[in-house]
Chains A and B, each alone.
Chain A
């Protein structure tokens, strides 16, 4: 069953935008409407950080989230309920943005009923090299005006 996941209907539902909106509205913003599709040219991320989680099953599915460091810190503070401007430790950062990737990836997995386990999140200053993978969707979103990229990959 895994080898023949039919992605077309799943992708038609705009899953990355939808899941991100649900996640941000419930756990980060505590109100809806602050995540939208990015309008205009794809921006360059400022001091970028990439965070990814895989579903390791027969097929390897990866969700990669890209943000500027500052945006990631803002996400971390919001998730943890810390006041604006509180310094964010690396540990909290990895844990918080990692959890965002984890929830997005877990929700994608549920959409395709893909049996397999989620891996521990990885954070790095560069996007993972994925020459041999297929990019199924690469969404650029705007959260309170800051760019966040969310990509879904199928790895060999």
Chain B
């Protein structure tokens, strides 16, 4: 399965990417929402996006709004991973179409656990 990690911090992209690779994802990256939309065009088989909120050019919230307008992206699972921990922000992101929301800092098992109940774990890799 393919995942797109969208964060302006290279370090964060690497950390999240490593977690996803460990559970069997093929990971591609983008540094902002705009670039992420481009990547989606190139990789229509992406099943999961992990999205930071604060990014230059196009932020994560705008990215979610943009993808939700596109019926061909309906099956992509959208997971926010951000330092934005206000309740209002979480509500906004979910209302815009995010499926999950993780507040930084986080541990690997928090992400893996959420992937599990979102039905995104390959049983073989993660027995």
A–B in direct contact per CB < 8 Å: yes
Show the binding face of A for B, using Cβ within 8 Å: 22-23, 26-27, 30, 76, 79-81, 91-92, 95-96, 98-99, 102-103, 105-107, 109-110, 113, 117-118, 120
Show the binding face of B for A, using Cβ within 8 Å: 8-12, 14-15, 18, 54, 56, 82-86, 88, 103-107
A106 and B84 contacting across the interface, CB-CB below 8 Å: yes
Complex: A50 Cα to B12 Cα, angstroms = 20
Contacts of B15 in A (CB 8 A): 27, 79-80
Top 8 A-B pairs ranked by shortest CB distance? A106-B83, A110-B85, A23-B105, A26-B105, A95-B11, A26-B107, A96-B11, A27-B105
A103 and B83 contacting across the interface, CB-CB below 8 Å: yes
B83 and A113 contacting across the interface, CB-CB below 8 Å: no
Contacts of B82 in A (CB 8 A): 106
Q: Which of B9, B18, B103 contacts A95 (CB 8 A)?
A: B9
A27 and B83 contacting across the interface, CB-CB below 8 Å: no
From known contacts A95-B9, A98-B9, A110-B86, infer whether A103 and B104 are also in contact, taking CB-CB under 8 Å.
yes
B54 and A118 contacting across the interface, CB-CB below 8 Å: yes
Complex: A107 Cα to B84 Cα, angstroms = 7
Instruction: Determine the residue in chain B with the shortest Cβ distance to A24.
Output: B105
Q: Which of B12, B85, B106 contacts A26 (CB 8 A)?
A: B106
A22 and B105 contacting across the interface, CB-CB below 8 Å: yes
B104 and A30 contacting across the interface, CB-CB below 8 Å: no
Complex: A149 Cα to B106 Cα, angstroms = 22
A99 and B84 contacting across the interface, CB-CB below 8 Å: no
Residue of B11, B14, B54, B84 with highest tally of chain A CB at under 10 A: B11
Interchain nearest-CB distance for A141 vs B (Å): 15
Instruction: Determine the residue in chain B with the shortest Cβ distance to A20.
Output: B105
Contacts of B107 in A (CB 8 A): 26-27, 30
B105 and A110 contacting across the interface, CB-CB below 8 Å: no
Instruction: Determine the residue in chain A with the shortest Cβ distance to B87.
Output: A113
Complex: A138 Cα to B82 Cα, angstroms = 25
22 A–B contacts, CB within 8 A, in A order? A27-B107, A79-B11, A79-B15, A80-B11, A80-B15, A81-B18, A91-B10, A92-B10, A95-B10, A98-B9, A98-B11, A102-B9, A106-B83, A106-B85, A107-B83, A107-B104, A109-B83, A110-B84, A110-B85, A113-B86, A120-B8, A120-B56
